[in-house]
Structure 1
């Protein structure tokens, strides 16, 4: 599945990259790629000013290598207790609702940070300062959970470098902490990382017909579901993300069929530990404009001013969400449908 995603022929790299062992390792994996020096992994005019109609080429052909400067941690309380410093930014996939694209204004290929030792050391120090979690919460009853992939997909990153393997190994040795990341890709390499229950993978799912339109360049939903038992047998804690919930006529039938697919495929051992996150669609005018240049069919579902309202995000941006009174009713109906079809699936949070 991952091979068609990446055909790297150019690498943009900061000057410090080759001073790091991980940087040299990645460059050695792509010996034929053109190397283009840049001052900053954030400021690459060739990517920002690309043809908006050719949205996918940069994601397939370009790789950015940089050094992570800020090693700060942010409280979360939803998917995790804390958002850890990221080891990457951007993605080879092209989900039409992706908020990372909102920030960049155009296609955002994978950027990998090569100072993995510093990032792992920062996580270990932060976890040690927390001590034991003494009050259970919806994130986890015992462990402090760190989101590792806020701005990318670590299953894809694992095809580029050993950063993900190093993160999984780190959390094996942190008894008071767990790592966590969401994914829409299937990478068999993850099965050999020996997580020993200390890394949580959140498999993102939506009805297959919807995914074929919106989850561009991702693994088919059936493959994602089939991977869940394998990941669990390999030692991961596996949850599911129903995200985003995009409303259209017949949505309850579509999601009900997805829940039945899951119920049929998941063994009892997975069901006993299963939990879900439910995230209703949030959209954005800037992303809408980007999508209209390369994927207008998606916008027929995502851009619905008739049932959406403006929302100011935590970062101060103006986004669109389903109108508040209606959203609450639709969300309650979604949760009730899930409870009827998969009563064993605990909802960790929904919004």
Structure 2
């Protein structure tokens, strides 16, 4: 075999990293006159061959949102469609779980397709990435908001800084492949004296290692046992790859926490989590382990999303939809959710927290429910 043939064979055996193939943008829906924003022009220039379709609003796109037929193209839509608009209403919302505040969104939607994700419930059968181009206005709002905060009373979010979640409705690691919005946010919080950004992610984007966060951004790597992740974490980085990246992000100046979410109960779930905790302990440095903290969130599922998922990924519902273990609860918005039965869940939460303390004793639990 020639050297050229060997090189070609090696390339075939080494798949392109997910971060480089997660998007193949073919259509961009955009609001009128969005190109007045430099960020919009940047995004459009990165996909010069994409079809451009003007729409009155990023929130109402006929044929995209609310179209039940889109369930057949669930993953293709996430890969091939972008929406580009302006974030007109800016506000920071109190949270006090993953953060003190939920920052105004610079995007929503995601190119990944986790079958338990709550965002599709709001958008109706499709939730490709919507990017907001007026980033300067959002950055200015956040800087002024942080400047108005008084001294921080230590809480489980952080003992020193006011924490702002910048990725509530998407994944910033994916967003960073679309535009410089995430880079601008990381740079902002690197210089704010009293505030810290945070986001959860299931994608290893090593491009973020080139930023200079200076401790001002907390990345929360979302983890669950690998075999479960293979079923429900669709189009995400492998769990082993996420664990392998943790030390590198700490070394690059990020604070790194862990997001054990969602915890999905099945016949071997506790043994699987024990193995995951051991993998984290063995795969991270002492420096990393000393700064670890975790949030633990058991699964909440939704009847409407269950019906949608049956149309594109029914295998995942074998894990997510367990009437024998779950009870119904109507949400504040009137949707029918299912959660694990209260007496059992309380015991399971305690079991998982105790197991984490045994296997990864330096990792404190910020909250668990």
Normalised TM-score (structure 1) = 0.98
**1:61, distance to aligned residue in structure 2 (A):** 0.5
C-alpha distance in 2, partners of 1:312/1:270? 40
Secondary structure in structure 2 of the residue aligned to 1:216: coil
1:32 equivalent to 2:15? Answer no
When Rg is computed on C-alpha atoms for both structures, the one with the higher figure is 2
1:63 equivalent to 2:82? Answer yes
Residue 258 of structure 1: aligned partner: 276
Counterpart of 1:10 (choices 27, 52, 56) is: 27
**1:265, distance to aligned residue in structure 2 (A):** 0.6
How many pairs does the alignment contain? Answer: 350
1:327 equivalent to 2:355? Answer no
Any residues of structure 2 matched to 1:331-350 within 5 Å, and which? 331-350=349-368
C-alpha distance in 2, partners of 1:51/1:22? 29
**1:315, distance to aligned residue in structure 2 (A):** 4.4
Residue 224 of structure 1: aligned partner: 242
Residue 80 of structure 1: aligned partner: 99
Counterpart of 2:209 (choices 188, 191, 197) is: 191
Counterpart of 1:94 (choices 113, 117, 123) is: 113
C-alpha distance in 2, partners of 1:120/1:10? 27
Secondary structure in structure 2 of the residue aligned to 1:194: coil
Checking the alignment, whether the CA contact within 8 Å between 1:274 and 1:345 is kept in structure 2 is yes
C-alpha distance in 2, partners of 1:107/1:93? 12
Checking the alignment, whether the CA contact within 8 Å between 2:202 and 2:236 is kept in structure 1 is yes
Residue 308 of structure 2: aligned partner: 290
Residue 155 of structure 2: aligned partner: 137
Residue deviations 1:55-106, cap 9 Å, x none? 1110010001010111011100000000000100000000000000111221
**1:54, distance to aligned residue in structure 2 (A):** 2.0
**1:316, distance to aligned residue in structure 2 (A):** 4.5
Q: Which moved more, 1:86-95 or 1:8-17?
A: 8-17
Counterpart of 1:203 (choices 215, 218, 221) is: 221
Residue 161 of structure 1: aligned partner: 179
Q: Which moved more, 1:199-208 or 1:43-52?
A: 43-52
Residue 123 of structure 1: aligned partner: 142
Any residues of structure 2 matched to 1:265-280 within 5 Å, and which? 265-280=283-298
Runs of 4+ in structure 1 off by over 3 angstroms are: 312-317
C-alpha distance in 2, partners of 1:312/1:348? 27
Structure 1: 5+ residue stretches without partners: none
Checking the alignment, whether the CA contact within 8 Å between 2:70 and 2:126 is kept in structure 1 is no
C-alpha distance in 2, partners of 1:151/1:317? 18
Structure 2: 5+ residue stretches without partners: 1-17
